[in-house]
Structure 1
Amino acid sequence: MALLMLLGASASAQDTTGVGAISGTVVDSMGRPAAGVRVCALDTSVCVTSDAQGAFRMGELRAGAYRLEILPLEGLPFTSDAVNVRAGLDGTVEITLPQGENFQQTVTVTAPAFQAPEEVKNSGFLVAPREILKSAAALQDVSRYVQGLPGVTIGTNDFRNDIIVRGGSPLENLFVVDNVEIPNINAFANFASAGGTVSLLDAELLQDVTFLTGGYPAPYINRTSSVLQVTQREGNRQEFGGWTTLGFAGAGVILEGPINAGKGSWIVSTRRSFLDLFTQDVGFGGVPIVYSVNAKAVYDLTPRDRVWMVNIAGIDEIRLGLSDSSDLEEEIANFDIRYDGWRSATGFNWQRIFGSRGVGLFGVTHSEAKVGQQVKDLVAQGVPPPNLSPEEVIARSPVVYFEDSREGESTIKYDLTVHLPFFDTVQTGGSFKIFRISYAVNSPFGNDTPYSPAPGIDPFFLDTRFRSYQTGGYLQASKQVTSRVNLTLGGRIDHYDILSKTRFSPRAGVNVRLTDALSWNSSTGSYYQQPAFLFVSAFPQNASLVPWRADHYVTGLAWSPNTNLRLTAETYRKTYTDYPVASGL
């Protein structure tokens, strides 16, 4: 019986074109490399031939299940069971040819191991959805799960899922869902923040989660610490179905089904929190209410053309502070805090495969978010008389913070991956972004901090509307320099309209296979990020801010002694330049 065996260990990945690959080796029954064996993915035009070392690679395969046809130089062809391909990942397999007298017509297949494509050298994690679902600490929240990964620390408190990577801030993380950049994937999110209380993403819809914590390649834009990239699964192409869900984020329903006799599919998840049905206080003076929707539709126009649409949306509200049941010893009883907001991100993508030459991905996305907040200080004018009801105390107290703001972001982008004679892989692309900003923020009494020389420092009144633009492009090439050395070089250039600044960011990475089990990996790069629009707009002097810079230097060893174990050890250095900090406190 010919056997397709598991190789390698799970690792990180990059998905800028929405395709994956199957690579591996063909060996004979004695374990020797088998050259000249033709391997084809059925129902496609993709066929490759193993080289002198028995190695082969089939690239530009859409996510899905493929049966392989193996045509040895001698004997009958074989047809494998289905091999799964996942977007942005290299699935590594081994094909063992049987002895001539044992030829059979099928190949037994085990699931391939997935590994990083050649341009990702360091600091990456591929998280399986089942790990998020079964983790008690994660609460079915992808952000809370990655808080436990190496190089990541938890934010200010357990109520938030802020991600702090290698000394950065939560604002320095890029979120990408099915090639749609989303400013924030969380509920109860403020502008100038990338965290919240709970993720809007339904863990039941996740297919792959890739988390890059440093030294990542050139396609990623305007973030200086990390990239959280999510691929949601397709709906069922054969039949309609649905089920209910229950978790920390709430109760909901998932529905899915085919489009046009299996040429496409759709899937929708809707959820609502339910704690407010049982209590008005979950331990911090109130109870959150959250609605969320995740939707994805995929359609194959032709064997080479695929389109998909994605929507991630959420509505949230909460009221915190003094109530009839409040413990007056708690600080929260000194305030009345009201928050309501919504956010939505929608994207359309068109993927075209150019045969064995490469693949292109065109995307148009739009995200919109609104935040409304009001904070009253109930003791700003002294301790209220004890005979007043909470409603009367709130009515007579001054507003110390008010916000009614909105941000919109529209993006058009294109990513192209091609295979050229000199370079194994060349990636290039560009994007154009339009930001529509509307801020109405008042803090009439300023802020009191332990570092303030006087109370009420830096009061501000902000009422502004404007547009801004950001353009960027990148070029990156990877080459197998020798049989043991792979090199990636590239860079990107970005223009920040509101700051009137242009920055170039070089990137480089190298992988050296020291032995069959041990490899040395290093990567470096410069990364730039624009200060949040709210910070730039709040005070006139902030208009002179420039994009801050983080230089990453990462090196380490990876050891894979067998198919089920991968150990990595890394060291890194991260240097910031032009980082904005508050002054005059």
Structure 2
Amino acid sequence: MNRKILILLIAILSIPASIAAQDKGLVKGRVFDSKTNEPIPFATVVVFGTTIGTTSDFDGNFVIAGLEPGWVELQVSFIGYKPYVTPAVMVTRSKNVFLEIPLEEVALDIEGVVVTASAFRRSEEAPLSLRRIGIAEIERNPGGNRDISRVIQSLPGVAPSLAYRNDVIVRGGGPNENRFYLDGVEIPNLNHFATQGASGGPVGIINVDFVREVNFYSGAFPSSAGNALSSILDFRLIDGNSERLKVKAAVGASDLALTLDGPLTKNTTMIFSARRSYLQFLFSALGLPFLPTYNDFQFKTKTRIDSKNEITVLGLGAIDDFELNLGLKNPDEYQSYILGYLPVNTQWNYTLGVVYKHYADNGYHTFVVSRNMLNNRQYKFTNNDENLPKLLDYTSWEAENKLRYEHDFKWNDFNVNYGAGLEYARYFNSTFRAKFVGDTYLPDTYETNMDLFKWSMFGQLNRTFLKYLTLSFGIRADANSYSNTISNLLDQISPRFSASYALKPNFFLNANVGRYFQLPPYTALGFADTNGNLVNKENGITYIKSDHLMAGFEWQPNETSQLTVEGFLKFYDKYPVSINDSVSISSKSADYGTFGDEPLVSTGQGRSYGLELLYRNKKLLGFNALFSYTLVRSETSLMDNNLQPTDSWIPTSWDNRHLVTITATRSFKKGWDFGFKWRLVGGPPYTPYDLATSSLINVWDVQRQPLFDYSRFNSKRLSAFHQLDVRIDKSYFFDKWMLNIYVDVQNVYNFQGDRPPLYTTAADANGAALVDPNDPTRYQLKRIEGSGGGTVLPTIGVIVEF
């Protein structure tokens, strides 16, 4: 495989440079007031870090021509407004780039004050725990393969999850504790083959061709976004090209993609994409025991009715099929083990949303209407033979219809945001799951058809005092109709307060305290007994509560570098705990299938705390470099026999302790880019198996894999893992089109990671399970050798745009 990569690189190098035209590119744009949408004339617009630039005209429009093709950032400034540095955009000869640049008004005493622009914008409502990720960082991230879920794993506080998964694990919180927004429209999940009730999956759904930048909140959440305990990812999407249709085709690590981008009418632009995976062919050729196939689509239209009104319509959808590779010849022990327990899974989901924005004299109104739906189907037969007893038959769907109103405006020197939300949700579940709890056969057999309403109110107030002190206060309240215990807004009030003090113009002390609530997943709310009674409703399940405290400082030595240090402390209360095994469900939320559908009580407590360090420098020896280190502890309370928390603490599944990432990318002349990412992840804890119970014939024939010994929950720990990823890009800029070819190699030095042991039944020459000669009620179990993780994974990608 390495020889093939070398041949590809030689081929790229041998392409004559003369065929790639090297004429200049062009950027157009509009500068406007972020509150009123009024144009800002005579704003200064320059290429960041240079003296190349221009000024906007009376309508706020500008044009900068004669730019070298490649990644470009613009710096925009005007008296009375905060300076703004745009996310990087790719300039080519084949298309004009158009940027909408909003400036935020600021009250300043002009005399003696010098306002400088920084590549790292700050937020009043979230002066800490907010990271912005531009499209250039996503496109060129080594090992990221244009997948946003993987890119954010470079940031402090974010832990990589299991291999081949994109779970978002932030500051010791579970993958079920995050929320995602596209231009203000909430989407329920971020990945294909999503874990129902959580965020994980192997491949991201969002096509990065749509993304302008990502605002990643690991704390200090704005009050307008609710139902999150660990993070919020706010995706800001590009608008379609207003001049002509352009086409972009890509062959990536796992899929083929096509993106169309252009005008529909004089006032309406659109961007549309579709992707189709070819993983099933690759996995079949490699002899893997499962064959995943995914498809997705995404679109956005934006209509400017006039200077005061605009409508955005967007959609996102995915169709996922997961089959077993039953055609394997002479499967080895590991392949047989996977085929033995893994179910067949088909899944589809979609989100449709409409955002209407009306600009007034000193602010704007936003109305968001959306609908999302997830359908999940799984089944499993004994020995994968449909003539034998069924072990799993699961059908579930959940749908949400949402309405949200927000009003942003300026009141004296205050920035104000307030609003309300209303949702109507439906959930259906039909389940038969053969399973053992210990050595007792307790199958799940039930059907649920449930609906509920949710409502919320929120507000946020920000102001800067005496040019040095910025304060932000927000409050939110949530309730729903699931039960009487959670139907009162006053019972779920979540205040939050942030403060930032500028000791110097480039040195800030920051702090935040806040309380947040999250509703357990529908799988938990809708879990029922054989008579259809909602078990967890009768158990008094309620909102999960988390209190955050964090403080730190930010230093911007110059306009291209940033150093932040933050300490954080999170307390959890009323976390759902499994009645079956006395374990908080948070530690179970990173596995395929479903999460939360079991009997629960809201008595769990938890805590996570730690320290984050982040250093970013866009011009460190010519590299755009990022270094992050996180020290994190994540713990849950040990439960007594009555499922009440004790004073003892045990690690959660997200207690990695040490996270280190070094990422560096650099652009060279003639369209070359190079980057590398090295990361170290502390070994997570894991729970050993109960081999005595697992070896029972009646248990193994149903479970097809060992059962955990929850009396020793997370008592073992894996060794640390580290990995180096490298990426090389070569771009060619032609008259009418652009070609990008890249090679991405993950785990360059083939580090062999540690993972929990796997066990299967010993077999005779015919493959039949061997019975223990000393106990005819048990199978003989054996450890599967050679099941450790780690491999060199090269990827070749081609992107064509015209």
TM-score w.r.t. length of structure 2: 0.58
The alpha-carbon distance between structure 1 residues 338 and 350, as it changes in their structure 2 partners (threshold 3 A), is same
Aligned to 1:135: 141
Q: State the distance in 1 between where 2:193 and 2:216 align.
A: 22
CA contact 2:37–2:308 (8 Å) conserved in 1: no
Equivalent residue number for residue 501 of structure 2: 512
Q: Look up the match of 2:536.
A: 542
Task: Note closer, same or farther for the CA distance 1:135–1:517 as it changes in structure 2 (3 Å cut).
Answer: same
**Most deviating of 242-251 and 232-241:** 242-251
Equivalent in the alignment of 1:460: 444
Q: Distance in 2 between matches of 1:112 and 1:22?
A: 20
Distance 1:17 1:269 in 2: 31
- Are the counterparts in 2 of residues 413 and 430 from structure 1 also a CA contact under 8 Å? yes
Is 2:393 aligned against 1:419? no
Q: Deviations over 1:371-429 (max 9, x none)?
A: 11112342xxxxxxxxxxxxxx62343322221111111101111111112x5211101
- 1:84–1:111 contact (8 Å) kept in structure 2: no
Alignment pair present for 1:399 and 2:393:
no
Matches within 5 A, 1:92-107: none
Q: How far did residue 358 of structure 1 move? A: 0.7
Question: What are the Cα deviations for residues 221-255 of structure 1, in whole angstroms up to 9, with x where unaligned?
Answer: 11111001111211110011212111134102111
The corresponding residue for 1:8 is none
Match of 2:273 in 1: 269
Aligned runs of 1:183-582 on 2, under 5 Å?
A: 183-261=188-266, 263-280=267-284, 284-320=288-324, 322-325=326-329, 327-330=331-334, 331-335=337-341, 337-355=343-361, 357-378=362-383, 394-421=385-412, 423-443=413-433, 445-447=434-436, 452=438, 454-456=439-441, 458-500=442-484, 501=486, 502=488, 503-539=492-528, 540-543=534-537, 544-582=540-578
Going from structure 1 to structure 2, the CA distance change for 1:410 and 1:134 (only over 3 Å counts) comes to same
Contact 1:415–1:428 under 8 Å retained in 2 = yes
- Cα 1:510–1:40 change in 2 (3 A) is farther
Q: Is the 8 A contact 1:479 1:488 kept in 2?
A: yes
Shift of residue 482, structure 1, vs aligned partner = 2.1
Q: Using structure 1 for the length normalisation, give the TM-score.
A: 0.78
Decide whether the 8 Å contact of 2:130 with 2:217 is kept in 1. yes
Q: One-letter code of the match for 1:56?
A: G
Q: How many residues align?
A: 493
SS at match of 1:314: strand
Change in CA separation of 1:22 and 1:516 when aligned onto 2, cut-off 3 Å: farther
Give the gaps of 5 or more residues in structure 2.
1-33, 45-54, 62-77, 90-96, 111-115, 529-533, 582-802
Q: Which amino acid aligns with 1:203?
A: V
Amino acid of the structure 1 residue aligned with 2:543? P
Residue identity matched to 1:173: N
For residues 485 and 287 of structure 1, what CA distance do their matches in structure 2 show? 56
Residue 562 (structure 1) shift: 0.5
Q: 2: CA distance between counterparts of 1:197 and 1:418? A: 41
Question: Which deviates further from its counterpart, 113-122 or 200-209?
Answer: 113-122
Q: 1:284 to 1:237 in 2, by over 3 A?
A: same
Instruction: Tell me the SS of whatever aligns to 2:576.
Output: coil
Counterpart secondary structure, 2:339: helix
Structure 1 residue 440: Cα displacement: 1.1
- CA shift for structure 1 position 18: 11
Distance in 1, matches of 2:163 and 2:284, equals 19
Aligned to 2:59: 43
Distance 1:91 1:310 in 2: 29
CA distance in 2, matches of 1:505, 1:547: 12
Cα distance in structure 2, aligned partners of 1:212 and 1:362: 23
- Summarize deviations over 1:60-96 as a string: whole Å, max 9, x none: 9x9999xxxxxxxxxxxxxxxx995557x8699x9x9
**Deviation for aligned residue 1:127:** 0.5
1:212–1:282 distance in 2 versus 1, CA, 3 Å: farther
SS at 2:520 equivalent: coil
User: What is residue 639 of structure 2 aligned with on the other side?
Assistant: none
1:268 offset after TM fit, Å?
Answer: 0.5
Cα RMSD of the aligned pairs, angstroms, is: 3.3
Shift of 1:321: 5.7
Q: Closer, same or farther in 2 for the Cα pair 1:482/1:58, shift >3 Å?
A: closer
Q: How does 1:26-65 map to 2 (within 5 A)?
A: 42-43=58-59, 56-57=80-81
The structure-2 alpha-carbon separation of the partners of 1:580 and 1:360, relative to structure 1 and needing over 3 Å to count, comes to: same
Query: Counterpart of 2:181?
Result: 176
* Partner Cα separation in structure 2 for residue 130 and residue 525 of structure 1: 32
Residues of 1 paired with 2:281 and 2:459: CA distance?
53
For the Cα contact (< 8 Å) 2:320–2:348, is it kept in 1?
A: yes
Task: Tell me the residue number matched to 2:155.
Answer: 149
- Give distance in 2, aligned partners of 1:59 and 1:402: 57
Question: Does the 8 A contact of 1:182 with 1:345 survive in 2?
Answer: yes
How many angstroms does 1:59 deviate by? Answer: 11
CA contact (8 A) 1:17 1:361 kept: no
Structure 1 residue 276 displacement after superposition: 2.5
Distance of 1:289 and 1:44 partners within structure 2 = 47
Give percent identity, aligned residues only: 24
Q: Which residue of 1 aligns with 2:747?
A: none
Residues 404, 264 of structure 1: CA spacing in aligned structure 2 closer, same or farther, 3 A cutoff?
Answer: same
Following the alignment from structure 1 to structure 2, what is the Cα–Cα distance between the partners of residues 568 and 25?
31
* Partner-residue secondary structure (3-state), 2:526: helix
What SS does structure 2 have at the residue aligned with 1:147? helix
Deviations 1:315-365, CA, capped at 9 Å, x for gaps: 01011364433524111132362111111101011111113x111111110
Long gaps (5+) in structure 1: 1-15, 27-38, 46-53, 66-81, 97-109, 379-392
Q: Structure 1 residues 83 and 243, CA, compared in 2 at 3 Å: closer, same or farther?
A: closer
Shift of 1:563: 0.7
Cα distance in structure 2, aligned partners of 1:563 and 1:581:
48
Amino acid in the other structure paired with 1:308:
T
Q: Distance in 2 between matches of 1:182 and 1:42?
A: 38
Cα distance between partner residues in 2 of 1:20 and 1:269:
32
Alignment of 1:153-168 (within 5 A): 153-155=159-161, 157-168=162-173
What SS does structure 2 have at the residue aligned with 1:581?
A: strand
SS at match of 1:121: coil
Distance in structure 2 (CA, Å) of the matches to 1:40 and 1:325: 67
The CA distance in 2 between the partners of 1:22 and 1:485, in whole Å, is: 27
Alpha-carbon deviation of 1:58?
Answer: 7.2
Quick check: 281-290 or 307-316, which moved more?
A: 281-290
Counterpart residue number, 1:68: none
Confirm or deny: 8 A CA contact 2:515 2:546 kept in the other structure: yes
Q: Indicate conservation of the 8 Å contact 1:409/1:435, yes or no.
A: yes
Aligned mates of 1:231, 1:511 — CA distance in 2 = 25
